[in-house]
Amino acid sequence: MNYQSPIYTEKTQCQDCYKCIRECPVKAIRVERGHAMVVSDLCVFCGHCVLACPAGAKRVRDDLARARQLLHLKPRVILSLAPSFASEFPGIRPADLVSALQGLGFYGVSETALGADLVSARLARDFSALSADDGSRGGLFLSSACPSAVEYVKQYLPALASSLTDRASPLLAHARLLRETYGEDTGIVFAGPCVAKKREADAWTDIDCAISFADLRAWLREAGLEPLPSADSDPDDGRVPAFIPRRASSGAYYPVDGGMISSIKKSYGSGRVRMMTVSGLAEIRNALEGLDPADLERPLFIELLACPGGCVNGPLTGTGQPTALRRMRLLEYAERSPSPVSAEGVTDLTGTLPERPSPAAVHGDEELRGALRSVGKVSLRDELNCGSCGYDTCRAFAAAMLDARAEKTMCVSYMRKLAQKKANGLIRAMPSGVVICDSSLKIVECNENFARLMGEDILSMYEAKPGMEGADLSGISGVAAFCAAAIARDGSDVSEHEFRERRKIFQATVFSIERGESACAVIQDVTAPQVRRDRVIRQTRKVIDKNLAVVQKIAYLLGENAAETEATLNSIIESFSAGEGEP
């Protein structure tokens, strides 16, 4: 496992269910010895696998210790608080929250939304210049605010990577603003609901580390500083200093889908540039895959958000709150924000996450067919595309096998057929007669030896239809009554029965395969010479063992009786001996 990656797998917790593969929008999972491991080079850190894993095996890297240490290493450390805090800490005055966070040792608390304000103002200026250019025909502009969406476009829609606006994310812009304002030696810790922010902290020296809201709550709780909700939620009560260097403006809308566009329009207004929002990686693929920017008659700006609905639904948000309620709380806070600010004075608002070259291997049709044949899929009819392995199609699964990201055992249909072949081979190879029936006493499977034991007519039926699936067992053999009893009784106890049929004596070992559903009988003809010999030996051994047990019991009883007699006689002798010595 890679503890350096923002997301990793705890091997001891992985239950091999492959749900993470089914849920991962980019299939950045490699199965190693049955355990599903995150492939960091392919991951876009949307955090969806963390939420989807039923066993809790997908973990987010814990950077809380690093944040604590930073307070002792830097002369001042500022907490960059994600704008979704308004929905994450309901009923708590921002001033009270800031005071509690300063109690942890932070120099101050600043809204990440300040960086969003700067980005919106710069994009508004860019779009205004674009609108003023009469010769501009069209063009595609993709937002770079969401680091997970940026990773997705660069890795999985590389043809559109050049359409990403070269504007810093709100966090990066905010970190640069704080360092310019308070000094380059200022430490920056981000707190919010986003896993991909850890990737930003790893990529940019401007950001020291990123923690989650849950980490922040735990830290406050441990220090005894957790603020309590208040009936008065007015953020401007003036009791204690609040956010530094100032309160954010319309950047507070960024955590909801469409919030970035609303913020831009407050400065840009309406112009030639069309704007739309797409949230969720699956929807981003649907919206952009195959899109040619040259086909656009007017400039189009698309706000991309990896989480459906926006950051208020981030993977590290608190649980138990409906999305609608979180959204309303954030909007109520954002509506009280001051007027937009200018981006002037901030030296650098450029830069998107650096690319991580991970070229996807291209496999030819013959390679894919070979991989498919290895799991028993030799024709198109065999390609079920059931998705149980986690991949949408059998061919995608075959490509993953060729990339060493998947194993043959992940294919349920292959494993089922393999198990059936092994079971059928074992049944056919057994020297005894074997029959399996369902609760209706219809034969599910039987071997040739069973048909031979039941007579020439039944053997002819078997030869006409090997396995005799669907035949009525009660009309073939009296063993049906024992099978019915095995299906009905509790547990899976094995019972032994003898019955006469066709001038033969059969011994049947009967057991339930699935209570109430099916049973199996293993039948031997005890009148057959070899079976008779084995039966005589077995019966003789049983008699010998029984006789030995009786002899041992008699010996035990005789020994116990002799001991008691000896003790009684000794006591009599002792009493008489004592009497002779008296005067």
Q: Which domains does the chain have, with CATH numbers?
A: 1-61 (3.30.70.20), 64-333 (no CATH), 363-429 (1.10.15), 430-527 (3.30.450.20)
216 contacts 190 by C-beta, under 8 angstroms: no
Listed in order, strand segments (DSSP E) in 2-47 are 7-9, 29-32, 35-38
Q: Which residues of 535-550 are buried (b: 16+ CB within 10 A; e: fewer)?
A: beeeeeeeeeeeeeee
- 195, HSE (Cβ side, Cα atoms, 13 Å): 28
> Which amino acid, 330?
L
Per-residue HEC secondary structure of 273-302 comes to CEEEEEECHHHHHHHHCCCCHHHCCCCEEE
Taking the C-alpha atoms of residue 96 and residue 118, their distance in angstroms, rounded to an integer, is 26
84 contacts 330 by C-beta, under 8 angstroms: yes
What pLDDT score does 354 carry? 84
Cα-only R_g, the chain: 38
pLDDT (tens digit, 0 to 9) for every residue of the chain, 583 residues total?
455 899 999 988 888 888 999 999 999 999 888 889 999 999 999 999 999 999 999 999 999 999 999 999 999 999 999 999 999 998 899 999 999 999 999 999 999 999 999 999 999 988 888 876 655 567 899 999 999 999 999 999 999 999 999 999 999 999 999 999 999 999 999 999 999 999 999 999 999 999 999 999 999 999 999 888 876 545 555 444 589 999 999 999 999 999 999 999 887 766 788 999 999 999 999 999 999 999 998 899 999 999 999 999 999 987 668 889 999 999 999 998 887 666 555 668 888 888 776 666 788 888 999 999 998 898 888 888 888 888 989 999 999 899 888 888 888 888 888 888 888 888 888 889 999 999 999 999 999 999 999 999 999 999 999 989 999 999 999 999 999 999 888 666 789 999 988 788 999 999 988 888 899 999 999 887 655 555 555 655 665 566 566 656 665 555 555 555 555 555 655 555 554 444 4
End-to-end CA distance of the chain: 95
- How much is the pTM? 0.74
> Which amino acid, 452?
R
What pLDDT score does 583 carry? 41
What pLDDT score does 533 carry? 53
For residue 520, the surrounding DSSP H or E stretch is: strand 518-525
What pLDDT score does 231 carry? 65
